[in-house]
Amino acid sequence: MTLVIGLAMFTGCATHLDRLQPIRDQFYAGNVDNARVTLEKELKKRRGDRDVLQLDQAMLELAAGKPQEAERLLRAARDQFDHLEQKSLAEDAASLATDDTVRSYAGEDYEKILIRTMLSLSNLMADGTDASAYALQITDKQQQIADRMAEKELDDRLRMEAYKQVALGPYIRAMIAEESPLTLDDAVRARVQVASWAPDFPEAKHDLQRAQYEVPIPPGQGVLYVFALVGRGPVKQEDHAEATQAALLVADRIISAVSPRGLPPTLAPVPIPRVVRSPNSAEHVLVQVDDQTSGSTATIVDISQMAILQQQAR
């Protein structure tokens, strides 16, 4: 069974990425140890960026064969972002009256899903005891985000596409549940979710058929799952947008409330971060066993597409 997660290291704004470019160049060149040393120096210099830098650090630890350390860093980032998410909701009103710099950075919605994805995969590379729980968190977090976005006045079609459920969570849970004859019913339910949430995933129907009707893997045999992280993740680039009517109305109300004289709000373009897809040269991985082609991976999650759709929906 094979799949592809369309992601690489974690995303960030242009300035942040510029500072990290030497580290990422080392990583992509296969110099993981050098990248780890360079990132450690960056962590000491930029303590204010510690939360986001630790995400890249977790990926380096995973690539260095230290999944438990990667899991520890990712878990700390998850908890910190969850805390800042609640804090930033309280800061939204203040940011309307000033600017977005007063808001805590709690991560983009797709990054919150990505963190839980990497937690599950990191745990799988260690003892695997918590991988299923982390996989369930992928589904739970996406549902929380979708429920929150449903309360906003957004285009329903875009919102439902951008915040649809992520099939990777139940895929991992089904894989783990199939290990024991006592949890085969759980595996079937998870396979049903995968087929429903990712109908274009080519292995979904075959996996469901096998889980429902075929004999489980006998003792002494197994199934090889290949998780391929291909391509580079999305990045944020500065763009400019015209002020919306809603923003001008808010500005006019604020000026009227605090100024004895009415002043027309400025119509200058506003700099905004825009998510863009990184150019990628790889889309899938070919799997060979004893020099014989066994299959190729297929995309089950495209993080770049998710990120772009979520920005469009907002």
Q: What is the pLDDT of residues 79-106, one digit of tens each?
A: 999 988 886 655 555 554 445 555 567 7
Q: What is the pLDDT of residues 165-197, one digit of tens each?
A: 999 999 999 999 998 889 999 999 999 999 999
Amino acid 212: pLDDT: 93
Q: What angle do CA 115, 120, 123 make, to 5 degrees?
A: 120
Q: Which of 203, 201, 208, 227 is nearest to 299 (CA)?
A: 201
- Is residue 51 pLDDT above 90, yes or no? no
Amino acid 1: pLDDT: 42
Name 83's Cβ contacts closer than 8 Å, sequence gap at least 6.
Answer: none
Average pLDDT over residues 263-268: 59
Least confident among 11-20, 96-105, 289-298: 96-105
Are 2 and 225 spatial neighbours (Cβ–Cβ below 8 Å)?
yes
Q: What angle do CA 214, 199, 11 make, to 5 degrees?
A: 115
Name 70's Cβ contacts closer than 8 Å, sequence gap at least 6.
Answer: 58, 59, 61, 62, 118, 122
> Domains in the chain, please, with CATH?
2-234+277-313 (1.25.40)
- Is residue 248 pLDDT above 70, yes or no? no
